[in-house]
């Protein structure tokens, strides 16, 4: 039984990491901070706790699956994916390296052309990856409606030029430069995620597959 995958079946809207499950199903005090300890005895105790709490949690989650009538669903549709996905991760995905080289050249040329057009629209060279520069251009120079974003870690809310903000602004204002920024970011992500990558020695890509994604 996989504790993360099985709890996701029970409570798909809740966090499913081992730290959270430990707080729900056991009396073990919070210990995840010990992972960063330089003391090896503390580190080994951390590893041991990971083993024993997972074992304890598994029995309790399995009991809940049975009580909710979800054990069959978990076994047949979720747990059944674990082995084939591990096999897929190990085998890797074939990669057309020559095709990627050609596509990389094409996309880099498009990015250069788009960046030049964007700079002309803005009036100076702008870094679309800089939230500070983008916010200055959008909200101070163009005087557009400020879009805010809440930082999940700090809880602070600040002006944002992320994808959501640009999508909203493009619906509110007919400004061609906004479309240029979004297209530039899309192409840049395509380059960094799929084309500017390091292949394994057998020229294949390996990644992880998230059952509870």
Q: What is the tens place of the pLDDT at every residue in 94-109?
A: 999 999 999 999 999 9
CA distance 138 to 145: 8
Q: CB-based contacts of 138: which residues, under 8 Å, 6+ apart?
A: 144, 161, 165, 169
Q: What is the largest CA-CA distance in the chain?
A: 64
Mean pLDDT of the chain: 95
pTM over the 0.75 mark: no
Which tokens sit at 174?
């007919």
Distance separating alpha carbons of residues 60 and 63, to the nearest angstrom: 5
**What pLDDT shows up at residue 177?**
96
Plot region of 31 (φ>0 → left; ψ -120 to 50 → alpha; else → beta): alpha
pLDDT at 67: 98
**Per-residue confidence band for 34, with pLDDT thresholds at 50, 70 and 90:** very high
pLDDT digits (tens, 9 = 90+) for 123-143: 999 999 999 999 999 999 999
58-115 pLDDT, tens digit each? 999 999 999 999 999 999 999 999 999 999 999 999 999 999 999 999 999 999 999 9
As a whole number of angstroms, the distance between CA 28 and CA 165 comes to 42
Residues 6 or more apart from 201 whose CB is under 8 A from it?
none
pLDDT of amino acid 213: 80
| pLDDT at 172 (0 to 100) | 95
Asked if pLDDT for residue 152 goes beyond 80, the answer is: no
Distances (CA, A) of 141 to 119, 127, 146, 173, 176: 14, 15, 12, 14, 16
Q: Mean per-residue pLDDT for 7-33?
A: 95
Query: Per-residue pLDDT for 7 more than 90?
Result: yes
Q: What is the DSSP letter of 141?
A: I
User: Which pLDDT score is estimated for 45?
Assistant: 95
What single-letter DSSP state applies at residue 148?
E
């Amino acid at each position: 039984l996989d504790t993360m995958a099985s709890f996701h079946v029970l409570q798909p809207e809740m966090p499913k990491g081992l730290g959270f499950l430990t707080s729900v199903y056991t009396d073990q005090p919070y210990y995840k901070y010990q992972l960063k300890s330089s003391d090896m005895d503390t580190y080994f105790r951390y590893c041991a706790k990971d083993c024993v709490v997972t074992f304890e949690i598994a029995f309790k989650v399995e009991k809940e699956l049975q009580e909710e009538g979800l054990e069959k669903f978990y076994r047949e549709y979720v747990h059944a994916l674990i082995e084939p996905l591990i096999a897929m991760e190990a085998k890797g995905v074939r990669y057309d390296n020559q095709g990627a080289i050609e596509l990389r050249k094409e996309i880099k040329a498009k990015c250069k052309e788009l960046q030049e057009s964007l700079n002309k629209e803005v009036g100076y060279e702008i870094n679309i990856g800089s939230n500070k520069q983008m916010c200055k251009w959008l909200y101070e120079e163009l005087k557009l409606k400020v879009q805010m974003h809440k930082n999940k870690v700090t809880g602070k809310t600040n002006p944002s030029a992320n994808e959501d903000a640009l999508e909203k602004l493009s619906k509110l204002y007919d400004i061609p430069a906004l479309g240029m920024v979004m297209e530039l970011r899309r192409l840049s992500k395509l380059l960094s995620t799929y084309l500017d990558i390091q292949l394994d020695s057998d020229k294949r890509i390996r990644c992880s597959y998230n059952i509870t994604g």
